[in-house]
């Protein structure tokens, strides 16, 4: 054929079809090779699974049942507590949130201070219902130093410490202390130990 004569023309679309065919064959070859390697090495391919997460509604329900949702600045909540102890005050720093009943939801331990030299008048313990409303679990009607113990030999208990005075003891410094430990029994807070110990500050 003379050099200046054009060669045979390729039909339109032939190049595209050739490229598609080559790509398909290459893809099949890759899959076959991968499958063969998998069989030879004991590797299996599994579809990925997403890690399950709590739904927003479940998270909201758990938050509602925590006593942290209770507003103790509200007169409707704090008023009856103060009335029960015939006075006193509830400092925000004396409200402790912890699971004291074993239901995996935080309860609120609310100490009522006398506001003077009388120390603590007692405490109230609250949980929250499913709607987040306060539910009174009980009052700790024992004055002295009232606290929750969340660490140490016995955790998650209420401790009340009172002075136990000998005849010659000054009012500020009793030689002995009466220590009362209370714990939830499934229905109420009950005394589990009541003992007199030496005052470590004397």
Spell out the domain ranges in the chain.
Answer: 56-198
pLDDT value of residue 116:
85
What is the spatial distance between Cα 64 and Cα 130, in angstroms, rounded to a whole number?
Answer: 6
The string of pLDDT tens digits covering residues 44-56 is 333 334 444 545 4
CA 71, 74, 77, 83 torsion-angle sign: positive
**Residue 62 CB-half CA count within 13 A:** 9
Contact indicator for 147, 159 with CB cutoff of 8 Å: yes
Q: Which residues of the chain fall below pLDDT 70?
A: 1-64, 152-155
Long-range CB pairs of 35-39 (<8 Å, 24+ gap) are: none
What is the spatial distance between Cα 202 and Cα 200, in angstroms, rounded to a whole number?
Answer: 6
pLDDT value of residue 196:
97
**Residue 144 CB-half CA count within 13 A:** 18
Distances (CA, A) of 44 to 29, 41, 47, 84, 95: 18, 9, 10, 68, 55
* CA-wise closest residue to 143 among 120, 159, 172, 115: 120
Residues 6+ apart with CB under 8 A from 120: 111, 112, 113, 114, 143, 144, 145, 146
What is the spatial distance between Cα 157 and Cα 149, in angstroms, rounded to a whole number?
Answer: 5
What is the spatial distance between Cα 19 and Cα 38, in angstroms, rounded to a whole number?
Answer: 29
* CA-wise closest residue to 144 among 167, 165, 118, 164: 118
What is the spatial distance between Cα 146 and Cα 27, in angstroms, rounded to a whole number?
Answer: 75
Residues 6+ apart with CB under 8 A from 138: 124, 125, 188, 189
Contact indicator for 88, 111 with CB cutoff of 8 Å: no
CB neighbours of residue 137 within 10 Å: 19
């Amino acid at each position: 054929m003379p050099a200046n004569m054009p060669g045979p023309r390729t039909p339109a679309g032939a190049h595209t079809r050739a490229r598609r065919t080559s790509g398909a064959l290459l893809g099949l070859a890759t899959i076959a090779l991968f499958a063969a390697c998998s069989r030879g090495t004991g590797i299996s391919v599994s579809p990925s699974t997403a890690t399950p997460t709590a739904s927003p509604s479940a998270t909201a329900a758990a938050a509602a049942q925590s006593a942290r949702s209770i507003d103790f600045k509200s007169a409707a909540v704090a008023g009856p507590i103060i009335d029960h102890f015939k006075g006193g005050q509830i400092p925000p720093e004396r409200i402790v949130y912890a699971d004291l009943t074993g239901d995996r939801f935080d309860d609120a331990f609310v100490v009522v201070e006398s506001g003077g030299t009388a120390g603590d008048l007692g405490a109230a313990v609250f949980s929250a219902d499913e709607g987040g409303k306060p539910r009174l679990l009980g009052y700790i009607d024992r004055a002295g130093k009232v606290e929750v113990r969340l660490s140490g030999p016995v955790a998650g208990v209420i401790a009340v410490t009172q002075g136990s005075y000998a005849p010659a003891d000054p009012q500020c410094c009793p030689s002995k202390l009466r220590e009362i430990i209370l714990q939830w029994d499934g229905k109420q807070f009950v005394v589990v130990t009541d003992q007199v110990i030496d005052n470590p500050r004397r």
